[in-house]
Structure 1
Amino acid sequence: MATRKIRNTLALALLGLLLEKPMHPYEMASTLRERSKDTSFKITTGTLYDTVEALARHGWIEPVETVREGNRPERTVYAHTELGREEFVRWLDELIREPVAEYPKFVAAVSYLGALGPERAADALEERARHLTERIDGTDTALHETTGAGMPRLFMIEAEYIAHVLRAELDWTRRTIAEIRDGSLPWPGNH
């Protein structure tokens, strides 16, 4: 299989937006933030414009018009090319079908949990559990607000997935804290 020219997942998000309608980069960023997609994709002005330029350079999107609203600067509106639509669908299909190793930092840290000692490890995990609970609550609130506003579930399905993953991590974290605290998780040097 040929190597994909663009691998930045923000490009995937932008291509997805352009399925709906042509947009200028500022509208793309606003729409992603409005839909809470900034929890799934890192969105900064610089990376967004760089990504738009890369998509255009590779022929996946193209400018279709320039617009000016009031005193605002001119904005270039982009749309998919046929190649861009094909690449988007191919890339999306590949990402959904094929799990890949993602190397999360937390997994790397957990592999050395023993270095903290039982008390500090349990304390650190308890703090993580608090943060996870806050993120779950925030995600649940965002999901409730968007579905209440009439946004189709399919537009927020990744937030639903993230909430499920966070709940699974929270369950594991709480169970591990309990095992550390009750001594059922053996600790090196504590025989």
Structure 2
Amino acid sequence: MKRRKVSNPLALAVLAELLIEPMHPYEMGRRLKEHGKDRDIKYNRGSLYMVVEQLTKAGFIVEHETVRDTQRPERTLYAVTEAGRAELYDWMRELVTTPVHEYPSFGVALSLLVVLPPAETVELLGRRLETLTAQAREIGDSIGQAREQGVDWWFLIEEEYRLAMREAERGYVASLAERLRDPQYDRMWQEYFRGTT
């Protein structure tokens, strides 16, 4: 992956929002939340303002104008620069084409799973499976409702991805729990577990 002047994923979202029109950071945050981007991009008001400052220093956005109306304090609107536009497209192309190794917390748990007793592990995986099933149903229902309301498919792709990931994890968790119920696996695990306690 290319080293970037500003590498926070929130910066990517800010650049994308500013492609639409110049806006104030508060408006960017409102739109990100309204469009459900806060499910994929972690941020708060402070981090949003910090990213706006970093993008400004990098030359990717500029102060466009200062707006004053009678009901609100003075607000600075920002706009994307040509350099910012180029950075957005380059970064997006890289993210779409290049898989990267991520460090999901469940992967950490799986790498250390042998510290738990086998019977407890199977029970915990069963509870995870219930949660994943409920989440997959909720996401599927949400996608279905959006389609019924005429929402275009490209507005649903991140939800479709979330659903696919939940379904893949459901399949894996169910398979793992089944393997751990096998007396052979259980015996090997029990022997290991006895050796560590």
Q: Give the TM-score normalised by structure 2.
A: 0.86
Is the 1:118–1:187 contact (alpha carbons within 8 Å) kept by the matching residues of 2? no
Is the 2:117–2:190 contact (alpha carbons within 8 Å) kept by the matching residues of 1? no
1:182 deviates by 4.2
Deviations 1:125-170 (Å, cap 9, x if unpaired)?
A: 1222222223323333443444455443223312211210111001
Name the CA shift for 1:176/1:184 in 2 (closer, same or farther; >3 Å).
farther
1:174 deviates by 1.4
The equivalent residue for 2:169 is: 169
Is the deviation greater in 31-40 or in 142-151?
142-151
Higher helix share: 2
1:47 deviates by 0.6
Name the CA shift for 1:53/1:187 in 2 (closer, same or farther; >3 Å).
farther
Name the CA shift for 1:104/1:11 in 2 (closer, same or farther; >3 Å).
same
The equivalent residue for 1:25 is: 25
Is the 2:118–2:186 contact (alpha carbons within 8 Å) kept by the matching residues of 1? no
Show structure 2 runs of 5+ residues with no match: 192-197
The equivalent residue for 1:122 is: 122
**In the alignment, is residue 110 of structure 1 matched against residue 110 of structure 2?**
yes
Alpha-carbon separation, structure 1, partners of 2:17 and 2:41: 13
- CA RMSD of superposed structures (Å): 2.2
Percent identity between matched residues is 39
Alpha-carbon separation, structure 2, partners of 1:113 and 1:155: 37
- The structure number with the bigger radius of gyration is 2
The equivalent residue for 2:139 is: 139
Name the CA shift for 1:84/1:150 in 2 (closer, same or farther; >3 Å).
farther
Q: Give the TM-score normalised by structure 1.
A: 0.88
Name the CA shift for 1:147/1:60 in 2 (closer, same or farther; >3 Å).
farther
Name the CA shift for 1:186/1:73 in 2 (closer, same or farther; >3 Å).
same
Show structure 1 runs of 5+ residues with no match: none
**1:31-180 pair list within 5 angstroms:** 31-180=31-180
Name the amino acid aligned to 1:125.
L
